[in-house]
A and B are shown apart, each in its own frame.
Chain A
C-alpha cells in the first residue's frame, strides 16, 4: 500500500499526469478553435457582402428590374419571379406533402408497397438538386411542352424537391401527437378519418408549418435546378404571370456575378443581402412558430 501511494506521488507520475492534463487542454482548445474558425468564416462572408453591398441598397435598387447598366439595375423583377415561383411551389407541395404524411403515418398498412414509398421519400430528400432540374427539363419542358423560363415550371420542379421535406417533417409532427388524444376521440365515437382531420391534424399543424417554411426557405435559395430549366432570362420588366419568362433572386445573383462591369459587384452583394434577409426572416418565423405553438405533452 505504501509502495503504491509513493508511486502515485513520484516525480515520474506527476510528469505523466501533467502531460495528460496538458493534452486534455490542447484537445479542448482544438474544439474551440474548430468552432471559432467555422464561425469566423461565416463572419468573413457576411462582412464582405455587407461591405460590398450595403451602399447599393436603395429604393431604386429594390423597385427596379434587370438592366445592362449596373447603376439602374434593380431586383424587383427577380423578386417578383421568386414570389410567383414560390407560390406555385407552395400550392403544389404543401397539400401533397401533408396528405401523404397523413396517409403514411395514420392509414398506410404495413406492406411492401408502402415500404417502397417510404424508401423513395427518404432518397428523394438526398438526391442532388441538379437531378431535379434534369427531371424538369426532360419531363415538364421536353415531354409536356411547357414554356421555358416560366415560374410555373420552376415552381413545379422546386415542389418536387420540397415535397419530401414536408412529408418527413409532417410525419414527425403527427407522430408527436400523444395517443391519448387519438384514443379519447375514438372512444366518443369519431371515425378514424374524423380523428385525424379534426384532432390530430390541427395539433400537428404548427410542426408541419415549421417544416414547410424551412423547406420553402431552401427552395428560395436554390439555383441549380432552375438553371437547368432555363430560368436565366434577362428580365427587364417584372413577369405578370406564371407562364411568362422570369428569373429568381438567386439566379439574378448568379447572372450578375458573371458580368464584367465592376459596378455589378455592388449589385450582386446587395442582392445577396436581400436574399439572406429573407431567408433569415423565414427561418426566424419557423423558430417562432416552433417555440410559440409546439406543445410538449
Chain B
C-alpha cells in the first residue's frame, strides 16, 4: 500500500473520529442534562488528535526501522548465499536490489542484484503489510480510547489547547534550530578545512589560489587576505562612498524639506531600488556600468584596463544600499526630540544649519549604526560581485582593477565541483564562517548602539 494512501486513510479515520465524537457531545448536551465543559468541536478535535498523532508517530518509527528488517529477511533468503562477502560490495548489491524492487530504477548495474529482486519484493510486501495493519490498529484503538472519554464533565478544550500550545512552542524553536544549524554546519566543515590548512595561513596569508591545492604545504595557496581586502574595498569603501551621501541627503530632503505630496511618491520610488533583485543589478553592472567604467579608465590613460572592475561592482552595490541608508537615517533623525529642533530654529538658525549643527550630531549614533548595518548587507551581497567584480585575487587599491570578494569565491569554489572533501570546497565554508561572524558582529554592535541611542532620548 502506498504511503500517501495510508496517511490519507489515517487522516480519514481522524475525520470519522471528529464527526462521531462531536455527534456524541452534541447529544450529551441536550437541554436538561448537566452542561458540557467544552464545546462539541473540542471533543471532536480531541478524538481526531488521538486517532492521528500516535498513528503517524508509529508509522514514522516503522518506516525508519523496516529497511533493516527487510534486508535482514533478504539475507536469510537462499538467494542471498551468492552475495559477495565483502561488506561494502554486499551493501551496494543490496541497495541496488532494493531500488530495483521498489521500481526506483529499471535496470540493475550489478547482475547479482537481479536475483535478489523477488526476495526483496516479498519482504517489502510482508513488512509493508505489517506496518500498515499496525498503524491502522494504533489509529483505531487510540481513537476509540479517546472516544470513551467523551462525557459531560470531560475537559476536552484544555487538552486540545495544551497540544496547540506545544505546536506553537515547537514552531518558535525553528529559529533556534536554524541558527544552530548554520553555526554547526559552518564550524564542522571549517574544522575539516583547518585540519589541512592552518588557520594562521588562512587568515593572514596573502596568496589565494585554491585550484592548485595538493602540494606539500597547502597553506600557501589559501591566504584569504586579498579576498578580505576586495570585500572591504568594494562593499565597505566604494559602495559606501556612493550610498552614504546619496542616502543621507535624500533622507534629509525627504524628511525636512519635501512637502507631503512629493514625499508620498518619491519615497516608494526610492524603495524600489531595494526591491530590485540583485541578479538584475549584477546584469546591469556587467552589461552597462562596467564598459562605462572601462572607457573612463582608458580616458584616464590606463593601459589595458580589465572589463571587470571593483568600481563598477561597488558603485552598483552602493546604489542598491541607498534606500537602506536612507531609511535608517530617516529613523534616527526622526528620533531626535522636536524640542531640540525647535530650540535651534528659535535661536535664528536656518533649516540647513539646524540640520548640520543639531540634528545630525544628535542623530549620529543612529546614523553610524545604520551605516554598519548597510556595510554588513553590502559585504554579504553576492550576485553583483559574481557578475561584475572578477575572479582574480588582487591586493590593490586601484578601483579599476579586477578584484574578488569572499562571496564571489564561495560561489566559485562550490559550483561545478561535486567532490565535498577537498580543501578547495571546504575552504568555502571557512570563508562563509568568517562572513557570518563579521556580519553578526556588525549587526549586534549596530543594534545595541541603536537601542542605547533610543533610550537616551526617550
Q: Does the CB pair B279–A27 fall under 8 Å?
A: no
Q: Kindly state the separation between the CA atoms of A218 and B352 in the bound complex, as whole angstroms.
A: 37
Residues of chain A within 8 A (CB-CB) of B253 are 28, 31-32, 34-35
Q: Say if the beta carbon of B72 comes within 8 Å of chain A.
A: no
Q: Say if the beta carbon of B353 comes within 8 Å of chain A.
A: yes
Residues of chain A within 8 A (CB-CB) of B278 are 221, 223-224
List 15 additional A-B contacts (Cβ < 8 Å) besides A35-B254, A134-B414, A227-B411.
A28-B351, A34-B249, A35-B266, A35-B270, A42-B272, A95-B171, A100-B174, A120-B176, A128-B376, A131-B186, A135-B181, A138-B186, A191-B161, A223-B277, A272-B280
Q: Which of B185, B252, B350 contacts A135 (CB 8 A)?
A: B185
Q: Say if the beta carbon of A294 comes within 8 Å of chain B.
A: no
Q: Say if the beta carbon of A23 comes within 8 Å of chain B.
A: yes
Q: Kindly state the separation between the CA atoms of A253 and B179 in the bound complex, as whole angstroms.
A: 30
Chain B: how many interface residues by the 8 Å CB criterion?
A: 84
Residues of chain B within 8 A (CB-CB) of A137 are 414
Q: Does the CB pair B179–A31 fall under 8 Å?
A: no
Q: Does the CB pair B172–A253 fall under 8 Å?
A: no
Q: Say if the beta carbon of A180 comes within 8 Å of chain B.
A: no
User: Secondary structure of the A side of the interface?
Assistant: helix
Q: Does the CB pair B175–A100 fall under 8 Å?
A: yes
Q: Does the CB pair A103–B169 fall under 8 Å?
A: yes
Q: Does the CB pair A127–B249 fall under 8 Å?
A: no
Q: Does the CB pair B279–A250 fall under 8 Å?
A: yes
Quick one: which of A224-283 are within 8 Å of B by CB? 224, 227-228, 230, 232, 250-251, 253-254, 257, 265, 268, 272, 275-276, 279, 283
Chain A: how many interface residues by the 8 Å CB criterion?
A: 81
Q: Say if the beta carbon of B137 comes within 8 Å of chain A.
A: no
Residues of chain B within 8 A (CB-CB) of A31 are 249-250, 252-254, 256-257
- Residues of chain B touching chain A, judged by Cβ–Cβ distance below 8 Å, are 157, 161, 164-165, 167-169, 171-176, 178-179, 181-182, 185-186, 188-189, 245-250, 252-254, 256-257, 266, 269-270, 272-273, 275-284, 286-288, 319, 322, 350-353, 355-356, 373, 376-377, 379-383, 386-387, 407, 410-411, 414-415, 420, 428-429, 432, 435-436, 439-440, 443-444, 447
- Residues of chain A touching chain B, judged by Cβ–Cβ distance below 8 Å, are 20-21, 23-24, 27-28, 30-35, 37-39, 41-42, 44-45, 48-49, 95-96, 99-100, 102-104, 107-108, 116-117, 120-124, 126-132, 134-135, 137-139, 142-143, 160, 163-164, 167, 191, 193, 197, 217-218, 220-224, 227-228, 230, 232, 250-251, 253-254, 257, 265, 268, 272, 275-276, 279, 283
Q: Does the CB pair A130–B380 fall under 8 Å?
A: yes
Residues of chain A within 8 A (CB-CB) of B165 are 103, 107, 193
Q: Does the CB pair B283–A123 fall under 8 Å?
A: no
User: Secondary structure of the B side of the interface?
Assistant: helix
Q: Does the CB pair B185–A134 fall under 8 Å?
A: yes
| Smallest beta-carbon distance B409→chain A, Å | 11
Q: Which of B182, B322, B351 contacts A24 (CB 8 A)?
A: B351
Residues of chain A within 8 A (CB-CB) of B428 are 134
Residues of chain B within 8 A (CB-CB) of A275 are 277, 280
Known: A34-B253, A163-B178, A223-B383. A103 touches B273 (CB 8 A): no
Q: Which of B169, B270, B282, B414 contacts A228 (CB 8 A)?
A: B414
Residues of chain B within 8 A (CB-CB) of A35 are 249-250, 253-254, 266, 270
| Smallest beta-carbon distance A97→chain B, Å | 8
Residues of chain B within 8 A (CB-CB) of A268 are 283
Q: Kindly state the separation between the CA atoms of A116 and B174 in the bound complex, as whole angstroms.
A: 12
Q: Does the CB pair B157–A191 fall under 8 Å?
A: yes
